[in-house]
A and B are shown apart, each in its own frame.
Chain A
Amino acid sequence: MEVEDGGAVSDRETGTHGGSPPGWPAAIGLLVTVVGAVGFVVAFVTNASTAWLGGSLAAALLGLGVALAYWGRDLAGDEVISGPYPAPHDDVPGAAALGGDLEQSAHVITRRRFLSRFLIAGVGVFAVSQAVILGALGPRPGRSLFVTAWRPGSRLVTFDGEPVTRDVLAAGGILVAFPEGHTDAADSQIALFHFIGGELKPQPGRETWSPEGFVAYSRICTHVGCTVAQYMDEVQMLACPCHQSTFDILDGARPLAGPARRPLPQLPLAIDPQGYLVAQSDFTEPVGPGFWDAG
C-alpha cells in the first residue's frame, strides 16, 4: 500500500514559515522538567505534602509536554504530506469483496448441510448450558426480602445492645433501634419516636401498634433503599438524603415529597410488663425498595 506521494502541499498549508523558529520555548520546557524532577525527588525524600509532590511532578511532566508538543508542532509545519485514503473494494477494479472470499470458504463447510447445522446447534446448546454457572454466584432470594429479624416479643435494643424501656426515650425524641441480638441486621433497623400529646394520627387497623405514643418505622427508604437518616423535628418528618423523599412521621410515615411512593413500613410495638419495648410481630410488609413480587 502506498502511503505517501511526496508532500506537495507544504507551503500552502503552513503559510509563511520562513527560517527556523526559536528553540528557547522547548528549552525552557525541558529546564522546567529537570527542575520539577529534582523537586519531586526532594519532596519525596523529605515526605513533603501532596501539593508539593503533585506540583513538582506536574511541573516536570508539563515542561516535557510543552517541549515535545512545541517541537512537534513546529516540525508539522515543515512537512505536510498527502496520500490516498484506502479505497473501498467497489472502487478498485478487479478487487474482490470480503464477502465473496468468505462465502467461498464457508461453502466448503455448508455443503455438509446436516453436519454444519448440527455444529451450530451443538455449539449453541453447549453455550447455553454454561449459563448454569451463573446460578452459583449467589443464593436465590426466596423469602428473605419479605422477612426481617423482628419476631413477636423481640426486645428493642440500641446500637450498643441496651434494651429500650419506656423511660429511655423522652417525648419528642428519636432513637435508632434493632431487634435484640441483631444489631447488625441492616434490614431490621427502625427509627423510634415518642409522642405524648396525641399528635400521632392513628392509622386504620394499626390502633394498637403505638402503645403510649411510641411509634417505630423502618429506616430503609421505600424508593431505592438509602437510610432515611434525616430527622426534621420542627415538622416531624423523616427525610432521605439520597433523593430527598420525605415522610410524615405523625401520619403513618406517608410520603409527602420526593420520588418515594410507599410509606415506610411500621413495626407493631407493645410494652411488656417489665416496661421493655417489644415488637408484636415482624413488619407486615416488605421493608425497603419495591420489587416484583412485593405487590
Chain B
Amino acid sequence: MSDRRLMRSLRTAFGVRRSPLRRAAGWLDENLGGGSRLLREELRHVFPDSWAFFLGEIALYCFILLVVTGIFLGLFFHASQAPVVYHGSYQPLVGVPMSDAYSSVLDLSFNVRAGLLVRQVHHWAALVFVAALMIHLLRMFFTGAYRRPRRINWVIGLSLLMLVGFNGLLGYSLPDDLLSGAGLRIAYSITESIPFLGPTLASLMFGGQFPASGIIARIYPVHIFLLPAGIAGLLGLHMGMLWLQRHTEFPGPGRDDRTIVGTPMVPAYALRTSGYLMLVAGVLTAFGGLLQINPVWLYGPYTPWDATTSAQPDWYMGWLEGAVRMFPGWDIQIGGFLLPAVFWPAVILPGLIFTPLFLWPWLDGMALRDGGFHNVLTLPSERPGRTAIGAGFVTFLTVLLVAGGDDVLASAFGLSLPVLLRTLQVLFFVAPPIVALLTYVVFRRRAQRWLATGR
C-alpha cells in the first residue's frame, strides 16, 4: 500500500470516529476472510463456571511462569562441569573447587540482581505445577470427567504429568549441588538395576560410568528444550481437544449431555482467567521472594565422596523415594546373574501405578458397561465404588510419600526409625483397603440418602 493511500484510509478511519478496537477488528475482518467469522463464533465459546475448572488453569499458568523464569535463568547458567575454584561473593565457599555449573548458580543467586528471586520462583512454580496437575487429575477422576469422549485427553494429561515430573527431576539435577548429584547417582543405579540391559542403558544415558563428567551438559538441552517442547506440544493437544469438545459441566438446571451452560469467553471468561494468571504469578512470586527453596549454597558442590543427612528429593518424587526406602533388600541371584531389589520399587512399581491409571477410562467403561458419551459430570456420591478406589489409591501414594521422609519424621518426632519403617510397611498393605472400604460405606450411605430424600 502506498503512503498516500495509507494516509487516506487512516484519515477516513479517523473521520468516521470508529473506536480503535473496532478498527482493529475491521482490519482482521478484511484480512482473515472466512477465518474472522469463525473467530467471531469462538469469542462466544462457552466456559462453564466452577472452581473445579481453575485447577487445570493453575497448572497451565505454572508452565507459562516456568518458561518465562527459565529463559531468565538460562541467560546466566553454565551447563558445564569444568572445574573452577570459587571466588564469588558467598564467603563460606570462597576457595572451594567446584563445577562451573554450581559456581554459575551461586553467581546467579548472589550477584545477579533478582536472580535468586527468579530461581526460587522457578523452583516453586515447578513444585506447584506438579501439585496442580495431580489435583486436577484427582478432580477428573472423582467426577468422571475421563469418560468418553475425553479418554484420549485423560491419556494426554497423564503423559503430561509424567513429562513434567521427569523434567522437574532434571531441573533439580542441574545446579550440580550435593543433593542434585546424589539424585543423579540414585537415578544411575536404578537404571543399572534393569535386567540384562541396565548397565549399558545407564552408560548410554550418562555418557559413561558415574560420575560421568558431561552429564550436566547432556541434561541441559533436554531440560530446557526437548521436554518443554514435548510438554508444550501435549498441552496444545490437550487444550485443543478441550476447545473442540468443550468443558464438562456439573449437573444443574438447563444442563445435559447435549447442552453446555456457562459464560462466554469474551469478555467475562477472558478477563477472569487473565486475573487468575496474575494471581498464580503473584502467589508464586510471593513464595519465591519470601520462602527459601533449595538453598544450594548450603549443600555445597557435588563430590562423589560427600553426603548429607536428611537428603530429600522434591516432594513429587517422594513416593518413589519412599518405595525405594520401604522395599526390603530382596536381591535375587539367578545363575550367575543378579536382579537387584531396587528394580521392583523403582522400575516395576511406577509401571504398576501408571498402567492402571492410563487404562482407567476403559476399565471403568467395561466395569459399568457404559461406553456412551458424557458431558455432565457425576458426583463422588453417585459412584461410591469409584470414589472408594480413588481414596484407596490416594492413601497408597500418601503412605509412600510419608515413607520418603521417614528419617526426617523420625528425628523430628523422636521416633525409632526401624519401628516407623515397619509401621509404614504394614500401613502400605493395610491402609489403602481400609480407607477404600470406609469411603465406600460413607458415600454409599450418602447416595442412598440422596435417592431417598433428594438432598
Interface string of B246-288 (1 = CB under 8 A from A): 1000000111011111111001111111111111111101101
| Least CB distance, B196 to chain A, in whole angstroms | 5
CB of B176 within 8 A of chain A? no
Contact residues in B for A60 (Cβ distance below 8 Å): 282
CB of B328 within 8 A of chain A? yes
| Least CB distance, A255 to chain B, in whole angstroms | 7
Contact residues in B for A57 (Cβ distance below 8 Å): 117, 285, 289
Contact residues in B for A187 (Cβ distance below 8 Å): 209
CA distance A191 to B243 in the complex (A): 61
B290–A227 contact, CB under 8 A? no
A69–B44 contact, CB under 8 A? no
CB of A257 within 8 A of chain B? yes
- Given known pairs A64-B278, A85-B246, A289-B189, the reply for A58 and B329 (CB within 8 Å) is no
What is the number of contacts between chain A and chain B, taking CB atoms within 8 Å? Answer: 300
A3, A12, A13, A63 pick with most chain B CB within 10 angstroms: A3
CA distance A258 to B199 in the complex (A): 24
A84–B259 contact, CB under 8 A? yes
Contact residues in B for A12 (Cβ distance below 8 Å): 253-254
| Least CB distance, B273 to chain A, in whole angstroms | 7
Contact residues in B for A75 (Cβ distance below 8 Å): 263, 267-268, 271-272
A68–B307 contact, CB under 8 A? no
> In the complex, which residues 1-42 of chain A have their Cβ closer than 8 Å to any Cβ of chain B?
1-4, 8-9, 12-13
> In the complex, which residues 360-418 of chain B have their Cβ closer than 8 Å to any Cβ of chain A?
373, 375, 406-407, 417-418
CA distance A240 to B182 in the complex (A): 11
B203–A230 contact, CB under 8 A? no
Contact residues in A for B342 (Cβ distance below 8 Å): 223-224, 259, 289-290
CB of A118 within 8 A of chain B? no
CA distance A59 to B279 in the complex (A): 10
| Least CB distance, B414 to chain A, in whole angstroms | 16
- Chain B residue with minimal CB distance to A229? B307
Binds A, one of B126-134, B230-238, B330-338: B330-338
CA distance A291 to B198 in the complex (A): 7
- Chain B residue with minimal CB distance to A240? B307
- Given known pairs A44-B114, A289-B193, A293-B337, the reply for A82 and B254 (CB within 8 Å) is yes
Binds B, one of A136-144, A205-213, A269-277: A136-144
A186–B211 contact, CB under 8 A? yes
| Least CB distance, A182 to chain B, in whole angstroms | 12
Contact residues in A for B196 (Cβ distance below 8 Å): 292
- Chain B residue with minimal CB distance to A7? B264
B336–A68 contact, CB under 8 A? no
Contact residues in A for B195 (Cβ distance below 8 Å): 292
| Least CB distance, B319 to chain A, in whole angstroms | 14
Contacting residue for A134 out of B204, B306, B309, B335, CB 8 A: B204
- Chain B residue with minimal CB distance to A8? B254
A87–B258 contact, CB under 8 A? yes
| Least CB distance, A278 to chain B, in whole angstroms | 20
Binds B, one of A99-107, A108-116, A163-171, A241-249: A241-249
| Least CB distance, A293 to chain B, in whole angstroms | 6
Could you list some 13 contacts between A and B, CB below 8 A? A2-B41, A9-B254, A51-B290, A54-B120, A57-B289, A72-B274, A81-B262, A189-B304, A223-B342, A244-B421, A260-B329, A290-B193, A290-B340
Apart from A137-B205, A261-B341, what are 5 other A-B pairs with CB-CB below 8 Å?
A139-B208, A228-B307, A240-B307, A243-B324, A290-B339
